[in-house]
Amino acid sequence: MITKSHALKDSRHRYARLALAACIYYAGTEQALSADMPAVAPETSLPSINSVPEIVNPIPADNPIGAILLSKHHPLLLRADFSRVSELVSQIYLNTQFQPIWFTANRSEKNLNDLLSILNNASNDALNPANYDVDRLKQLISGPNPDNTAVSGYDVALTVSLVRYLHDLRQGQVDPRDVEYPVHIAPKPALDLAGLLKQHLASQTLTEVVGQFEPKTKQYQQLKQILTRLQQLGNQTGSQEFKPGKMLRPGDKHPHIVYLRQRLRDMGLLDNNAADSKTYDNDLVAAVKKVQQQQGLTADGVIGSATAALFNQSSSEKIAQIALAMERARWIPDTTDGPMIVVNIPAFELWAFNSIDDPNPLNMKVVVGKSQSNQTPVLWEEMKYLEFMPYWNIPKTIYEKEILPKAANNEGYLASQDIELVRHQNSEEKGGGSYLRARQRPGKKNPLGRVKFVFPNTADVYLHDTPGHAAFKRPRRDLSHGCVRVSAPEELAQFVLGDQAGWDKESIKQAMSAPKTRHVTLKRAVPVLFYYGTTFVDHQNQLRFYPDVYGQDEQLKKALNKIHSPTAASSTPNNQLVMSKSTDVSTNP
């Protein structure tokens, strides 16, 4: 998150000539660097990972570095427009009185080499080094010492590239709020990038800054470990593809079984000492079942076309899936130890952890919002209270579209469904006044069931029980109006109230069958994460893949392509990135 500075108003047109002069470079190789640079669209202004103090001192327009900062445009870089990170870069140079930090009189070769090493290793975190101009920077650093005219341009180019990388590493390349991605997660707390950079440059420990910006969540770290393993394996598809040409069942023999066996060894699912038989034996069957389960297929050990295709997926294809997952994981706040509830939307499952390393979390099936009309949003909030035997305040759209037509044809319909009209008083902040709204009384007909779990959020969604459990038997469960129905509400209530005095299994059961609504405030809030992970590492450190039920993988790919391929993105209308969502997701069970 960036605090906007009044002193940093865009002065591109006014200072473009001076900025260009500051970046002039004369070597033929340097001219070649920019000869094929594509025309680029301006970067979208995104909230950054860091807040910076408001800059009260104006940037000097007559200073070569200041002129570049005011223009927010750098011709040495592939993405010349750096307005997205301009205020962070400006704060760094404000601390040095707008003097160079890399190409100084006492130039540190170690700092320069560490910078190149950091950017070269961006692929370790599923980021592309080319997005940070690493090859261009190598030529600038290894070339002859720049003269006074060029040094400012060189220096700012290095700083912009490093800041871009650290921003993307911590906060993500895409801000989901900017492309109307259905995410309700606040940006991460600020880090003092300018102060950290000054400290590490002085002590020549620049590589250590990466660890301070890298996401700390367990999901991110697990994904990174798997990414490293896949990168080491390389692309495995080739002449020895596993294509049996027919369905294989346990006990069958086939010459391609040896290829299957090697794939499973490479995946770490089969002992290296296992026999090299051409028989589809019990060890292979057990390993194949595990892969089928991870991929959301029926885990029966029978190898049909869908299962066979899994073993011909290249490492590069898997790496691309993991890269999307790591981008999403960057949006998640760094977690602290303690209870936590996670709903993975495309998995249609909930896990409740007592701690980060809980080996036996509570797990249950859930029903999520319909695709595409009522998608359950991604969010991070704290559960504050429970309501046993809750009322359901019926959203206006549901009342008008689903209930009112039935009531018009049957004057006793509302009473038969325990629906009543009540007058609601608006607060003074909302202009006062009152209006009638419909609500359904607690009971067997209430779609919220016997308990709802509330974590106040702008999408106004929550977890709740349901009177109908048949939907939990379906393999695909995107059926609700946006809220998340849980299959084991009593167990979830026990988890949430586990350390709260006066609540045990019996008292919870009584509250869930009482004649009146009961509001219970939690003494300790419980973090709740609604996550969209089509590629997800579970609590047993197993990589699982789930169907992209909301089509959000494709949306994220488009957003990433727009950032890193701005010329291609210029022909892509913004509305192609907008998720189709109901405006009345709130309070819908």
Residues involved in catalysis: 464, 483
Q: Are 224 and 234 in contact (CB under 8 A)?
A: no
Torsion of CA 359, 362, 365, 369, to 10 degrees: -100
Among the listed residues 435, 506, 494, 444, the one whose alpha carbon sits nearest the alpha carbon of residue 469: 444
Burial of 198 (0-12, 13-18, 19+ CB in 10 A): middle
Which of 414, 435, 417 has its CA nearest to residue 425? Answer: 435
d(CA 496, CA 454): 11
Q: Residue 202: exposed, middle, or buried by beta-carbon count in 10 A (0-12, 13-18, 19+)?
A: exposed
- Alpha-carbon distance 154 to 161, whole Å? 11
Contact 170, 122 (CB under 8 A): no
- Crossing angle of helices 193-203 and 148-171, in 10° steps, is 120
Question: Which residues are 537's β-sheet partners?
Answer: 543
CA distance 176 to 60: 34
Indicate the helix (H) or strand (E) that contains 536: strand 535-537
User: Is 71 in contact with 104 (CB distance < 8 Å)?
Assistant: no
Task: Quote the CA–CA distance of 287 and 261 in Å, as a whole number.
Answer: 9
CB neighbours of residue 341 within 10 Å: 23
